[in-house]
């Protein structure tokens, strides 16, 4: 995970796209948040707003460095989702618009999606296919309702859905979501688990060249690893996973995985590579007049972030009178860590292992269900047909959503056990 990607600076091929994405987010999020909050209506789920940016600016949009079009989808729904996930609006803006410093994880999956991390590493922008985009809009209400009923969901937290287009360029859809992994801790091993065995093996011999690779189901089994949760945590984790997977099954979604990042507390933070990769791109001369530019040339301290967030919050609110109680600023800690409120992210952004007696364990798991926008479409059915001719179904990854989900839950539940339980089972096995 320390391979956080390449910094996106002005020399980067995707600089203009990244710049436009962030400019569009800044504009649309401030625009929606400037208004008085209100209840959602059905129309909010269908809403889309198009904006044109150009170098001169117009009565609606401020001037930008480049000409581009930006589309904002269901802004009120996402505003409410961000509130549900306890994101501070100003903090969100600070993270995503701090002078366009992102790092890019170029297309780690087969899908061709690009991933960008906000410079503070809290958020991920993922470019998605048109089909995924259409699908997310279609299921948005179901997702929204699920999240209201399950604020502790393990599913990806979606904070925004947008589209950007440069003249003569193609339309690029993207979502903003939570980065499951923490900015301040090394992740010693990463696994992407689906509960299937076909193609679910990262070649162990390639690990040396790429020690931070994301490993898969077979690598997990080979290492005899477990999600070490004592009774209370295990119950909560499995119950939530079951509820989440029920939704995915009902929406006919598949191909999702449980992403697991393991931080070994004994090893702690050995490498400080991440600090280096997070070192901030220094804006060129043309940005010199920007009042925010200076403080953004290095990683800002908590206090600086809090101050900046407070400023922005005031700016957002200037359109209406500010009630007394809202002007009292929050403590920086609260601002920094909305995750504290969420069961599976409350232990320093993750979920700490526990022993059978519920005392704290040696690892912190950073986990969640990701890549959940693939609909069981015709393509999948075709894949099923072809693979089905040669493989046992238990090994196929493209089985129908119902069975995909059941198999997923079975696998993950099966590997959720304490160290003590695993050792006991091993001893029993040896005895028979
Ligand atoms: P494919 O469809 O081929 O699986 P994809 O482009 O849809 O690929 P994902 O499966 O969503 O990509 O993610 C690829 C990798 O990116 C994950 O294995 C993980 O390492 C990283 N990643 C994705 N989402 C997150 C997240 N929310 N937090 C942290 N890392 C993530
Ligand atoms: Ca995937
Ligand atoms: Ca995918």
| 21-37 per-position pLDDT tens digit | 999 999 999 999 999 99
pLDDT of residue 288: 30
**Spatial CB neighbours of 336, under 8 Å, sequence gap ≥ 6:** 91, 302, 305, 306
**Pocket lining: 110 vs ligand 1, CB cutoff 6 Å:** yes
Query: What angle do helix axes 89-97 and 75-84 make, rounded to 10 degrees?
Result: 110
Q: Which CATH number applies to 6-271+342-431?
A: 3.30.800.10
Please state the rounded mean pLDDT for residues 127-132: 94
- Pick the range with the lowest mean pLDDT from 141-150, 299-308, 328-337: 328-337
pLDDT of residue 319: 47
**pLDDT of 414 higher than 90:** yes
Q: Which atom of ligand 1 is nearest to the CA of 1?
A: 20
pLDDT of residue 235: 98
Q: Which atom of ligand 1 is nearest to the CA of 179?
A: 28
- Pick the range with the lowest mean pLDDT from 2-16, 164-178, 223-237: 2-16
> Is the interface score ipTM higher than 0.90?
yes
Confidence of residue 230 (pLDDT cuts 50, 70, 90): very high
Q: Pick 394 or 285 by higher pLDDT.
A: 394
- For the record, the structure tokens of 190 come out as 């990463």
CA distance 46 to 95: 27
> What percentage of residues in the chain have a pLDDT greater than 70?
77
Mutation pick for ligand 1 pocket among 106, 114, 115, 196 (CB with most ligand atoms within 8 Å)? 115
Phi, psi at 134, each rounded to 5°: -60, -40
pLDDT of residue 295: 26
pTM for the whole structure: 0.84
pLDDT of residue 271: 61
Q: Are strands 257-264 and 102-105 parallel, antiparallel or unpaired?
A: unpaired
Distances, alpha carbon 133 to alpha carbons 128, 199, 372, in Å: 6, 26, 12
**Pocket lining: 136 vs ligand 1, CB cutoff 6 Å:** no
Q: Look-up: residue for tokens 């894949």? A: 383
Q: Pick 336 or 166 by higher pLDDT.
A: 166
DSSP per-residue letters across 242-286: HHHHHHHHHTTB-S-EEEEEEEETTT-S---HHHHHHSPP---GG
Q: Look-up: residue for tokens 């209840």? A: 39
- Give the pLDDT confidence of 41-80 residue by residue, as tens digits: 999 999 999 999 999 988 889 888 899 999 999 999 999 9
Residues 279-288: contacts with CB under 8 Å, at least 24 apart: 279/7, 280/98, 280/99, 280/101, 280/119, 281/7, 281/8, 281/9, 281/10, 281/99, 281/100, 281/101, 283/99, 284/10, 287/99
Residue nearest to atom 23 of ligand 1 (CA): 370
């Amino acid at each position: 995970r320390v391979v956080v990607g390449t910094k996106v600076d002005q020399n980067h091929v995707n600089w203009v796209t990244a710049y436009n994405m962030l400019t569009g987010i800044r504009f649309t999020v401030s625009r929606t948040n400037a208004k008085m909050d209100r209840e959602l209506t059905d129309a909010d789920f269908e809403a889309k707003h198009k904006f044109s940016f150009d170098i001169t600016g117009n009565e609606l949009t401020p001037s930008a460095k480049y000409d581009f079009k930006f589309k904002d989808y269901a802004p009120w729904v996402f505003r409410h989702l961000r509130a549900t996930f306890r994101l501070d609006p100003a903090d969100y803006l600070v993270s995503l618009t701090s002078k366009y410093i992102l790092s890019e994880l170029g297309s780690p999956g087969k899908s061709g999606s690009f991933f960008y991390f906000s410079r503070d590493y809290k958020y991920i922008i993922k470019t998605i296919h048109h089909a995924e985009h259409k699908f997310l809009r279609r299921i948005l209400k179901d997702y929204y309702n699920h999240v209201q009923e399950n604020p502790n969901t393990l599913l990806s937290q979606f904070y925004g859905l947008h589209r950007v287009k440069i003249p003569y360029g193609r339309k690029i859809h993207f979502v903003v979501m939570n980065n499951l992994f923490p900015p301040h801790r090394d992740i010693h091993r990463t696994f992407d688990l689906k509960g299937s065995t076909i193609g679910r093996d990262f070649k162990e011999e390639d690990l040396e060249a790429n020690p931070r690779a994301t490993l898969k189901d077979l690598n997990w089994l080979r290492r005899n690893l477990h999600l070490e949760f004592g009774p209370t945590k295990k119950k909560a984790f499995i119950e939530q996973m079951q509820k989440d997977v029920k939704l995915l099954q009902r929406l006919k979604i598949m191909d999702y995985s449980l992403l697991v990042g393991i931080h070994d507390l004994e090893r702690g933070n050995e490498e400080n590579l991440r600090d280096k990769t997070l070192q901030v791109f220094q804006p060129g001369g043309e940005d010199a007049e920007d009042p925010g530019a200076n403080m953004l040339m290095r990683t800002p301290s908590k206090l600086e972030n809090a101050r900046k967030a407070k400023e922005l919050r005031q700016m957002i609110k200037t359109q209406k009178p500010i009630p007394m109680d809202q002007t009292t600023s929050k403590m920086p800690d609260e601002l920094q860590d909305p995750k504290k409120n969420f069961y599976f992210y409350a232990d320093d952004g993750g979920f700490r292992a526990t022993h059978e007696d519920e005392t704290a364990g040696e690892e912190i798991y950073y986990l969640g269900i990701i890549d959940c926008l693939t609909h069981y479409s015709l393509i999948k059915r075709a894949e099923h047909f072809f693979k089905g001719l040669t493989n046992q179904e238990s090994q196929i990854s493209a089985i129908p959503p119902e069975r995909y989900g059941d198999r997923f839950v079975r696998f993950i539940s099966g590997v959720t056990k304490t160290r003590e339980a695993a050792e006991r089972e091993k001893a029993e096995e040896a005895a028979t």
